Structure 1
């Protein structure tokens, strides 16, 4: 196929290589209905030599924060139309509806704010001194004085595409740790990372932090690319987001000198106490909170609640289910009023349950406005596309055992009951306990998926004695 035909049928995707925008349509990917074209890859351009420090290794953190703040301000103003362009192209290739993308892009600039950055550095690393130089460590039992540094890393990021904010947070963390970073663009978000990097280059042309990032697309699992790039002579660690197949593919390259930092695939649940039935007004408020947690990024986010355990008898829980289903179709900051219609295989699973009352009951249809399944035990398929499974329980302590190491967020109502449940939830494997309705309120600087990312990103180096 010649270039003119590609240009008419495939969305063009640029790369950003060390601060420089690279355009081209030499390679074509995607399904027949969502084709996109990228520049040819030059693998030599995607690595930084270990014979010299990375561009930002010795740049003061305060200066890097200045650049990031200016980048956030430029993203908010978007004087060059970079986010507007990313929105137009993403609307043609992303599974997310246009209105959700619009609101997500409109909020990207707010991620790059100095108080948040300072909080991250203080909480995760104990301050900027360990990034800007060597921190003295005293009080060792040996009586010796040591020095330690959070040394800038060399990282490959295989980022997820379920929300534009993933690219922004990945770049923010990468810049704060001063390293060099290659971002693999996900096929379901080809434009967010490059738009942010192009805005950074606009506010700080040829600045060391701009030259510390590259973003490019290749087909995930391509051994001709990953077999050459995923090596310790070029990078220290692989930061991988995504599903089971992504993590399994990444693991085959892990070995001495090349570590894996994994944001594993996660699901989330809700635990709703009998206090929800104190009055009709309280129950309506609880249903609204639970629906908000269930529809984050149209239920594509890890924090989206898919299974909800409710303390109450079947009659009470059925009242709750009806209210919940009605609220699933409400437009929110991170959700459209209607998502995609449910796929045929999921419809078949649910159709089989409709004829099995009273053990199961179903509220809602398949058009994408939300559907609720009440069952005695969690269903044996993955609720998706605004499908929520509600399970009545006699006690929330009984429901705690449904959490496991793949459980990211647990929303609890009323919030006063978090204290009685949190240790058992942590023991079961859950990583985040929040007030019901607050699952989207993720705070950078505290742990993420059970660890502190800045601590894992850097290489800790000691000067001992």
Structure 2
């Protein structure tokens, strides 16, 4: 692309489209220039003297609006999303076909049953979102509680262009006032979704509660002003270590971090995989499917496979079966992925030449590679590199799980129940059948928490008759 050309990336501020080319930026992954309007900081904050626009809007009406938005987001009938597809194909490392599939799947994120499942799993009584709910304790003291709408900055992730739809839905469900900071790899999709909402009703309280802008992460002229408790309660951060660390320095009394920080996922494959050639082929396909989600860019994509065997010949059979399955075209992954960074390629080549302790299957052609070892490799496997690690038992493999381990795919499936307590104790966050990492039970926790319950501002109204109602307290 010519140095003189920059893609246009407008903002949306409470339903209003803001265009301009005052500032020029470069996308992180592909180095493509895009231009944005100037940021007016006063327009991004709502004084605390103003109650949130969604405060007294019934949750059922909010969900109706989100469901209608989902219908309007269908790619074939939405010019904003169609234009976005062209733009994101320029800035995002995911292939255009994968981005298109993500956009076609996005309306499902605003499915009515799914939205209600989120609410009902996060709140024992969803009525706390619509008003004050009375309660009485064992001593007879009465009070009320409300899940009050939060004021939130969302630092959106760049590895899944449709992920902003889920963040927008979460914000609406908790009736929040939200500022979405878009990523450099996709400074477009969030605006397209908010424009779609504004076309339904520009004055709807959901629309009036949301803004989407871009600034370069770490820009203190903006962040020193925005990240203050008089303006926002929470910062929701999706992103890599540097992005999270940058936010941490702004935390203090009155402003909290809800972090969906970098995670790594694994597969745990029992010795039963060698029961027959058919089982081996099926499990290899399942591991490959988990590995290749977003070409291994997703946090839930498997990077390490702990294989229960001490027989190296068996391990080689598994690796040989897995390798060709990594090079298959999938709904959310391409047959040929971008090559890993040069430093990882150099490290793999050096290790592969060191001897019998590490073997490499495949080559750096974008179709995937399998590295067989006795211990996990030191680098972070990416771009469809699978590290198969031999272990004497799956119980032994638990020692490699920690608080950064998000999803653990297990075979045989019945061994999940045997392993899950130990995996949770080690810090693991989710266990599933291998091959289903990209599927979810609606309303389940994410990154070891229920996000909606974390986002709201919990307010209590204690109506205690006497000061000595709790005599045990000082």
**TM-score of the pair, normalised by structure 1:** 0.97
Match of 1:346 in 2: 344
- Whole-Å separation in 1 of the counterparts to 2:317 and 2:366: 21
Distance in 1 (CA, whole Å) between partners of 2:73 and 2:3 is 27
Q: Does 1:21 align with 2:17?
A: yes
Q: Would you say 1:216 and 2:195 are equivalent positions? A: no
Change (3 A) 1:413 1:458: same
Q: Deviations over 1:357-408 (max 9, x none)?
A: 3211111111211000000111111111111100111100000110001101
Unpaired segments of 5 or more residues in structure 2? 464-474
Partner residue of 2:6? Answer: 10
Distance 1:325 1:6, change over 3 A: closer
Aligned equivalent of 1:193: 190
1:8-407 aligned at under 5 Å gives the runs 9-30=5-26, 33-76=31-74, 78-138=76-136, 140-312=137-309, 313-407=311-405
Tell me how far 1:6 sits from its aligned partner: 9.4
Pairing partner for 2:443 from 442, 445, 450: 445
Deviation at 1:80, TM superposition (A): 3.9
Give secondary structure in 2 for the equivalent of 1:401: helix
Tell me if the contact between 2:75 and 2:103 (Cα under 8 Å) persists in the aligned partners.
no
| Distance in structure 2 (CA, Å) of the matches to 1:174 and 1:445 | 15
CA contact (8 A) 1:104 1:165 kept: yes
Structure 1 position 141, deviation (Å) = 2.2
* Residues 13-42 of structure 1, C-alpha deviations (whole Å, 9 max, x = no match): 011101111111111011694101001110
- SS state at 1:171 partner: helix
| Cα separation, 2, equivalents of 1:369 and 1:204 | 46
Q: CA deviation at 1:356?
A: 2.6
Give the deviation of 1:447 after TM superposition.
1.0
Deviation at 1:93, TM superposition (A): 0.7
Moved more, 65-74 or 6-15: 6-15
- The CA deviation at 1:252 is 0.5
Contact 2:151 2:232 in 1 (8 A): yes
Unaligned runs of 5+ in 1: none
* RMSD value, Cα: 1.5
TM-score (norm 2): 0.95
- State the 1:463 CA deviation: 1.1
Q: In structure 1, how many angstroms separate the alpha carbons of the residues matched to 2:75 and 2:422? A: 46
State whether residues 375 and 389 of structure 2, in contact with CA within 8 Å, keep that contact through their aligned partners in structure 1: yes
Matched residue SS, 1:215 = strand
Greater Cα shift, 78-87 or 179-188: 78-87
Equivalents in 1 of 2:21, 2:427: separation in Å? 45
Size of the aligned set, in residue pairs, is 460
| 8 Å Cα contact 2:308/2:392 also seen in 1 | yes
Distance 1:195 1:357 in 2: 53
The 8 Å contact of residues 177 and 458 in structure 1, kept in 2 or not, is answered as yes
Residues in 2 aligned to 1:7 and 1:398: alpha-carbon distance in whole angstroms: 54
Cα distance in 2 for partners of 1:409, 1:264 equals: 14
Structure 1 window deviating more from structure 2 (243-252 vs 351-360): it is 351-360
CA distance in 2, matches of 1:276, 1:126: 41
Please give the alpha-carbon distance, in whole angstroms, between the structure 2 residues aligned to 1:144 and 1:122.
Answer: 27
Counterpart CA distance in 2 for 1:438 and 1:25 is 43
Residues 240, 33 of structure 1: CA spacing in aligned structure 2 closer, same or farther, 3 A cutoff? closer
Runs of 4 or more off by more than 6 Å in structure 1? Answer: none
Maintained 8 Å contact 1:7/1:25: no
